Amino acid sequence: MGNIAIRVEGISKKYRIGARAHYATLRETLVNLVSVPFQRQDATIWALKDVSFEVKHGEAAAVIGHNGAGKSTLLRILSRITAPTEGRILIDGRVGSLLEVGTGFHSELTGRENVYLNGAILGMRKREIDRRFDEIVAFAEVEKFIDTPIKHFSSGMIVRLAFAVAAHLEPEILLVDEVLAVGDYAFQQKCLGKMNEVSQQGRTVLFVSHNMGAVNRLCEIGILLKNGQLYLQGDIETLITHYLSLGASESGLVKLNAGTDTAIIHEVGVQNHLGEFSPVIGANQVFFFWVVCEIRERIDAAQLAVAVVAADGVVVFVTTHADTLEGADISLFPGQYHARVRIPAHFLNVGTYTLNVRVWGKRTGQQRESHADAFHVIRFRIEETGSVASKLNDRRGGLVTPLFEWEVANE
């Protein structure tokens, strides 16, 4: 394959909706041979359709796309967890995969035992694991619990250990899905640094994430999937620009049904200073973010969060409904919630932004997690309208342009 680490040729994956695994008896098999032509066929869906691309050795490439685009399906095929319906893949090198929290881990085994088990799955010899064991445990920050069965680990501890194993056992190709969202901010930055180190060592990284800031920091190239098809491939900045425009609405208000059995996000909007839903806001005007969500089960330590994301994928700021509650123990009880966030005038610089909305918290006896996500769900623009900042020096640098109070004295 020369300099090519991953070659994907016309990959397609079809799933049958509603179909379940079933072991048929001989009698059922014979009956089906006769009856199948007269039965209604199950509906099917193409999770991927005719996707082709290449990644060279030493490249850090991103796979981006909105929910349902086919990203995780592609990584499962590359990891040989599932087979493609059509097409083929060619991989030159040993693959380490981190696709889901705890993949390849056994809940009854200790952390130590799972390191050796996962290393063996990755094709490592015991002496290789021995050599890297202390480094793996230190990176995962689970030294005190390494001999505890991982069924007692939090989801964050499991993902830290899983990433540490996958990254330190020297695979030539590292596949990483969105699981890094489980860890805290400091650990996410640590993981990004490790993946960058892996890439600098000449190994290949294929990274799936909704975090465009992380994607932009780690990757230089990638592919953008839409509805299971290859929409665009090329440099990462171009992909991020198209990614943000694909999923965002221009109406000022989006109605959706994003979430889980615990919480659902129903509406996300941007309102101008008159309270009208609008995707265009004047730089010198107050404006508002609008969120409607439904809580179906009580959520403790809850936060309804809104993140503003710039066109290059950088998170400008995050605000939550807990900001004004002074650290109170917050719970969201079942019911319909309407939230409105006031953003002051002269705050965001001229440009295009999108919103991420999340409902965070924990259910009784469980770890804190995200119960509803809506990434880049709406796009809005801040336009110059004769603000003070523009009159003084055309356009300030930076993503935010607040007007602060100064005291200047001439003595």
Question: Could you report the per-residue pLDDT of 63-77, keeping only the tens digit for each?
Answer: 998 878 999 899 989
Average confidence (pLDDT) over 37-57: 81
Average pLDDT over residues 6-35: 71
- The percentage of residues in the chain with a pLDDT greater than 90, rounded to a whole number, is 34
- Please provide the average confidence, as pLDDT, over all residues in the chain: 83
181 vs 133, higher pLDDT? 133
Q: What is the per-residue pLDDT for 163?
A: 81
pLDDT of residue 392: 47
The predicted model gives 374-403 an average pLDDT of 72
Over residues 196-223, mean pLDDT: 85
Q: Which of 32-41, 48-57, 79-88, 327-336 has the lowest mean pLDDT?
A: 32-41
Residues 223-237: what's their mean pLDDT?
Answer: 92
Q: Which of 182-186, 251-255, 365-369, 390-394 has the lowest mean pLDDT?
A: 390-394
pLDDT interval class at 388 (50, 70, 90): low
Q: What integer pLDDT is reported at residue 206 of this predicted model?
A: 92
Give the pLDDT confidence of 138-151 residue by residue, as tens digits.
988 889 999 999 88
pLDDT tops 80 at residue 125: yes
Residue 393: predicted pLDDT: 44
The pLDDT tens digits for 258-286 are 888 899 999 999 998 888 898 888 888 89
pLDDT at site 157: 85
Q: What confidence score (pLDDT) does residue 242 get?
A: 81
Q: Average the pLDDT over 188-196 and give the result.
A: 79
Q: What is the mean pLDDT of residues 333-350?
A: 92
Domain borders along the chain are 4-246, 251-393
* Most confident stretch, 162-171, 265-274, 329-338: 265-274
pLDDT (tens digit per residue) in 290-314: 999 999 999 888 889 999 999 888 8
Once rounded to an integer, what is the mean pLDDT over residues 3-22? 82
pLDDT at 6: 94
Least confident stretch, 39-43, 145-149, 228-232: 39-43
Measured at the CA of 213, the angle between CA 246 and CA 380, to 5 degrees, comes to 45
Residue 30 has pLDDT above 70, yes or no: no
pTM above 0.85, yes or no: no
The residue to which tokens 């966030």 are assigned: 341
Residue 38 has pLDDT above 60, yes or no: no
pLDDT at 323 over 60: yes
Determine whether domain 4-246 maps to CATH 3.40.50.300. yes
pLDDT of residue 233: 94
- pLDDT bin (cut points 50, 70, 90) of residue 183 is low
Separation CA 98–CA 191 (nearest Å): 12
| Average pLDDT value for residue range 71-99 | 88
More confident: 219 or 36: 219
CATH of domain 251-393: 2.70.50.60
